[in-house]
Amino acid sequence: MEKIKIHWISKEHSIVGNALGYNTHNKFMRKHCQKIMDFDDNADITLTITPADQFVPIPGKFNILFTMWEFLELPESYIKNLSKPDLIIVPSRFCKDLFKKYTDTPIEVCFEGVEAEKYPFHQRDNNGKFRFLWVGAPNPRKGYPLILEAVKWIEQMPNMELYIKTTVPKMSWIKTVTNAWKKRRSFWENPKTDNIKDVGFRKAWLTAFIRCIRRIPKPYYSDRIKTFGPHKNVFFDTRFLSFDDLVSLYNSANCFILPTFGEGWGLTLCEAMATGAPCIATPITGCADFFDETVGYPIDYTIQKQNLENYDLETDGYVPDTRSMIQQMINVAGNYKEALKRGKKAHHRISEKFTWERSANRLNEIIRTVKNVD
């Protein structure tokens, strides 16, 4: 069977987005597609893996957009671009059902996955401190506020620990303060402070300085591990980790937590499940395709209005419940033998059904079917 020729746009233009998920998706999908496709910049078929609002089609070619979204409504910047591709591919059934409400462009589902050989099953025990692990960007969507609530509980448990693996950009303190100051120049015209002559220069300067300080990202450090709490059982890790180090971190955990507000897919949860870690997560959006109570511990949630300032969008979204998350943490730690059984089932599910090799084959199948290639 002749290989499909495809122009893989994402590498050339580096528009896979600024999120780790998109870049990881692009890296591993491309790697496995190279075995079954011919990459040719002159090919009639193009593929771009990117947020929909960054998609740029190539005139005269069959343009495929591989994208995703996490909430219950799409922003206008996404909607206006959905008519530009000839085919949209998404990683989850949630995304397909959502996107269908906004476009007549054909939509297909191609799950993401892991490299199974790099995520072998890891046998865990309950010796020593019981470690809960969370991995993600320090933003609300990844459940970071709930993790901070869990810190208050973990700090009282000397036999447990919470490992927070996140990222903090490297920045110059002086540059950060300078940028914050520039963004606060409107302070001088702020009607709440009246006129600078009325409040006095010293008070005005002090108020502006405090506002600058408040804009500095917290915690302000990177590439290190810091411990917190009276028992030193909360770890805050902002280091850049190699692939092997990340796998080792998953293996070090007795339990993985992802109290997400929404995922296009849910790659970190997928990776943790592959190692056999008992997992606690919100069973919503992309995660619902591979995570449920038979292989993990679902967190209860409600649907509430959320304001996405970056997209100028107020939308309904899933909100995980903090008490439910902590109760599941208690359940896992208190009945670890049962949790390990679910972890083993999770490993088998991911390693057998959700791998990048299967994803690449599925992508190849979708394109062949749509383009009628034998």
Band (pLDDT 50/70/90 cuts) for residue 11 is low
- CA pair distance 269, 288, nearest whole angstrom: 11
Which helix (H) or strand (E) is 235 found in, with range?
Answer: strand 234-237
Name the pLDDT band for 169 (thresholds 50, 70, 90): low
Which of 26-35, 132-141, 193-202, 294-303 tops mean pLDDT? 294-303
The mean pLDDT of 304-331, rounded to a whole number, is 93
Token digits of residue 85? 């591709």
SS3 category, 275: coil
The tens digit of pLDDT for each residue in 173-209 reads 566 556 655 555 544 444 444 444 445 555 666 666 6
What does the pLDDT read at residue 205? 62
Percent of the chain with pLDDT over 70: 82
Please give the average per-residue pLDDT across 288-308, as a whole number.
96
pLDDT 10s digits, 77-100: 999 999 999 999 999 999 999 999
Give the whole-angstrom CA distance, residue 262 versus residue 319.
9
Contact 366, 45 (CB under 8 A): no
Angle between helix 20-33 and 267-274 (nearest 10)? 60
Q: How far apart are CA 47 and CA 110, in angstroms?
A: 13
Q: Please provide the average confidence, as pLDDT, over all residues in the chain.
A: 87
331 pLDDT tier (thresholds 50, 70, 90): very high
Full strand arrangement of the beta sheet holding 255-258: 225-228, 234-237, 160-165, 130-135, 255-258, 279-281, 297-298
Which residues fall within 8 angstroms of residue 200, CB to CB, at 6 or more apart?
none
Neighbours of 170 (CB within 10 A): 10
- Tell me the Cα Rg of the chain: 23
Instruction: Give the chain's count of helices (H) and strands (E).
Output: 13, 15
Output the pLDDT for position 298: 98
Report residue 121: phi and psi, to 5°: -65, 135
| Cβ 268 vs Cβ 291: under 8 Å | no
Of 115-119, 291-295, 322-326, the range with the lowest mean pLDDT is: 115-119
Model pLDDT, residue 187: 46
Distance separating alpha carbons of residues 7 and 3, to the nearest angstrom = 13
Which residues on neighbouring strands pair with residue 48, listed in sequence order?
65
* Residue with the two structure tokens 């589902």: 109
